[in-house]
Copies of this chain bind each other. A is one copy, B any other.
């Protein structure tokens, strides 16, 4: 059972205290409080867990802080959409709105290699009006003897440069709970010039201990990549791990599935699931065309497959795009062959904007 409180209810409001006192007295029922920061207001949701079917919905709705009560199914309790409810989607982080209606491009480096490349990348982003980027410091690699990323040694200059070029959110993969502390320390040390979105890679989608660690903090939002070898349901349950620990600022990222059916692409692109994830959950949906497609091949219409895949995600309503660029792909330490060139950013952006506009027009056709 989900209780949605009146907007901007505060912890020390008498209505809140009275409500909590009542809930704490319920036998055999635990509760979890989720706070979601929207642009205009803060929303508080309380999940009652346990034997809730004996509770009367009407009675709970009379509690002073409660605006509405929703009975929820077992699956995706926090992040799911539930029948007859019109729950808020997404969140605001560092002044940037992430909802099922927003749209942001996160172009950047798959793996940070040196300050020069980072700066070149960020300068081009600023020149093109971007305020988000992706930067990889910790790289999980299949082979133990491959380059594993520069780790926390590169964080200070990445964050400083991000601040210098007006970047508000850096998406960055973490593979161990210690990385959260390292990121936090580096941000603190550099004066918090930018924000960070913690990215969980496809090999860690079911690393439940890592999910719990990220779920326990609420400083940084999370970007969870879909597991490349498990069902959509299993990946959505993994997102719920983050939320069940208290962090519901979660974006879900489609990145292609491991299947021989995808060849000659690196993975089998799964962006037809964009509307599915939006229907099943309240999460904004991201797509990662670079890792899905994995090549710079061009079709006879002169458009790269990676641009086609991007368009396919956006035309179906994707809220965020993660895409690899590099100032000098041949020298990139990881995944160079799939990176776009800095000089391709303007055309890529023009394409992205055209298709996003078309998506919005489609909504008008269908009465959305």
Q: Which residues of A contact B (CB under 8 A)?
A: 49, 74-75, 77, 81, 100, 140-145, 175-176, 203-204, 206-210, 227-234, 237-238, 240-241, 244-245, 257-261, 263-265, 268-276, 278-279, 292-293, 297-305, 307-309, 311-312, 315-317, 347, 350-351, 354-355, 358, 361-363, 365-368
- The answer to whether A265 and B261 touch (CB under 8 A), given A316-B308, A362-B303, A366-B351, is no
Is there an interface contact between A355 and B362, defined as CB atoms closer than 8 Å?
Answer: yes
Q: Which residues of B contact A227 (CB under 8 A)?
A: 229
For the complex formed, measure the closest distance between the CB of A83 and the CB atoms of chain B, giving whole angstroms. Answer: 13
The reply to whether B142 and A234 form a contact with Cβ atoms under 8 Å apart is yes
A145 to B208 Cα, complex, angstroms = 12
Contact A264 B232 (CB under 8 A): yes
Asked whether, in the complex, the Cβ of B274 is within 8 Å of the Cβ of A208, the reply is no
B204 in contact with A275 (CB, 8 Å): no
Residues on B with beta carbons closer than 8 Å to the beta carbon of A279? 297-300
Nearest to A297 among chain B residues (CB) is B279
**B234, A261: Cβ atoms closer than 8 Å:** no
Asked, given contacts A175-B209, A272-B308, A315-B312, whether A244 binds B203 with beta carbons under 8 Å apart, the answer is no
Residues of B near A261 (CB, < 8 A) are: 231-232, 257, 259, 268, 270
Residues in B whose Cβ lies below 8 Å from that of A312: 271-272, 312, 315-316
Report the bound CA distance from A223 to B321 in whole Å. 35
For the complex of A and B, list the 3 residue pairs with the smallest distance between their C-beta atoms, beginning with the closest: A229-B229, A302-B368, A275-B299
Q: Beyond A142-B206, A142-B234, A272-B293: 5 further Cβ-contacts under 8 Å?
A: A227-B229, A257-B261, A271-B272, A275-B301, A302-B363
User: When the two chains form their complex, are residues A244 and B140 in contact, meaning their CB atoms are under 8 A apart?
Assistant: no
Which residues of B sit under 8 angstroms from A260, Cβ to Cβ? 231, 258-260
Q: A358 — which chain B residues lie within 8 A by C-beta?
A: 315, 354-355, 358
**Residue pair A144, B237 in contact (C-beta under 8 Å):** yes
CB of A175, distance to nearest CB on chain B (Å) = 5
- Min C-beta distance of A215 to chain B, whole Å: 9
Tell whether, in the assembled complex, residue B315 and residue A315 are in contact, meaning their CB atoms are under 8 Å apart. yes
Bound complex: CA A72 to CA B278 (Å): 43
A-B contact pairs, 29 of them (CB 8 A): A49-B145, A77-B145, A142-B234, A142-B237, A143-B237, A203-B208, A207-B210, A229-B230, A230-B258, A231-B261, A232-B261, A258-B260, A259-B268, A261-B268, A271-B272, A275-B299, A275-B303, A279-B298, A279-B300, A302-B366, A302-B367, A303-B317, A303-B368, A309-B316, A312-B312, A312-B315, A312-B316, A350-B365, A355-B358
